[in-house]
Amino acid sequence: MPLRLGIGPDRLALNRPIFCMRSKPSERCPRRHKVHIDFLGIQAFLAVAECGTFGLAASRLHLTQAAISHRMRKLEEALGTQLIVRTSRGVSLTQAGEALLPRAKQSLRQLEETWDVVRKHGRSAPAWVSFGCLPTLAGGVLVPLLKRVESETPGLQVRVFDSTPGEIVELVQSGTAAFGITVAQSLPPDLSVQEIGVEQFVLACPPGHRLCLRPGPATWADLRSDRLIRISLPSGNSATIDATLGPAKESLNWAWETQRTSMALEMVRAGMGVTVVPALALNPENGLVAVPLGEPGISRTLALVTRQGSRLGEPHQAIAEAAVELVRERLASGQGTQGRSGP
């Protein structure tokens, strides 16, 4: 079983969802699941875990101990597992509680940061040009795009949300971002979608790897002897790979799991294994080699999304057109898919 980075060794509760997810279709977006997040329960859990007793947690949150106990009970029932055990000296975390603690802290911290970003955006929106973009496009597309903007429009203030596909959709829907470059998959009907092109997935290897030294694409059978690094949520790439490979994925040695493409590429550079990434995530500065993958090939469609019925004004329209042009240039040049890239 792979070691999941960022949450410690595989534990009892790591295969459970952190929050209760109920399959309840939404009228506006029937393909998405409505997530019920017990913020009050998470808040109580963090207070108890950090304070060490229910009494101190109650004092911190200005609640009664009975209210804290009620919130904890509801949270544990929603998750289907016990998080905290009372002892004579206070409380201790179960394995599930230990697994949840860092993730809950991170989630609340990200929520606070998002709150702050949106609040600042509301105060300074007219002065900024804001858009969303997939993090895997940062090196090959985003940086050249921003350099072009700086050259052509000196002094223009640009705010980039390098976010996950789901976050980009929400940013565009809310108007926080004027447009976004994301994956054209399960997009809600209130967005206008302009397909940009198809991006292939490639195998990222360190220089000198045996698969870099032979011509032609690598087959999935070639990878059975390699230690593979899996990139899990929130990227969504692992779901694409799983859906394409089906049962064949079980024959591969998934030795590691991380949540970010950048972390997986750092591990490849360190010689810890190889990973499968979208082609545009690799560029010569990575210092890695991109090996094309044989059948079954894996790909995703990139798209520009805007709010339905809205029209981009300047300079958003010019930046969006330049972004689409750059992505198409990279795709047409076969970045990461033709030959071998790297030193």
- Give yes or no for a contact between 199 and 278, defined as CB atoms under 8 angstroms apart: yes
Quote the CA–CA distance of 67 and 78 in Å, as a whole number: 17
Report pLDDT for 28.
Answer: 43
Q: Return the structure tokens found at 291.
A: 């090996």
Report pLDDT for 125.
Answer: 54
Residue 261: closest CA among 273, 271, 276: 276
Q: How many CB atoms sit inside 10 A of residue 190's CB?
A: 13
**Per residue of the chain (343 residues), what is the pLDDT tens digit?**
454 444 333 333 333 333 333 334 344 444 445 557 788 899 999 999 999 899 899 998 888 989 999 999 999 998 999 999 988 778 889 999 999 999 888 888 888 787 777 776 665 555 688 999 998 888 888 889 999 988 988 888 889 998 888 889 999 998 889 999 999 988 889 999 999 999 999 999 998 899 888 888 988 888 889 999 988 755 567 777 888 888 888 888 889 988 888 899 999 999 999 999 999 998 777 789 999 998 888 899 999 999 998 888 888 899 999 999 999 999 988 754 444 444 3
Q: Count CA within 13 A, CB hemisphere, residue 8.
A: 13
Report pLDDT for 21.
Answer: 35
Dihedrals φ, ψ of 190, to 5°? -85, 10
Instruction: Report the CATH number of the 11-111 domain.
Output: 1.10.10.10
Quote the CA–CA distance of 290 and 297 in Å, as a whole number: 14
Quote the CA–CA distance of 335 and 17 in Å, as a whole number: 36
Report pLDDT for 186.
Answer: 80
Instruction: Report the CATH number of the 134-343 domain.
Output: 3.40.190.290
Domain boundaries, the chain: 11-111, 134-343
| Cα diameter, the chain | 69
0.75 surpassed by pTM: no
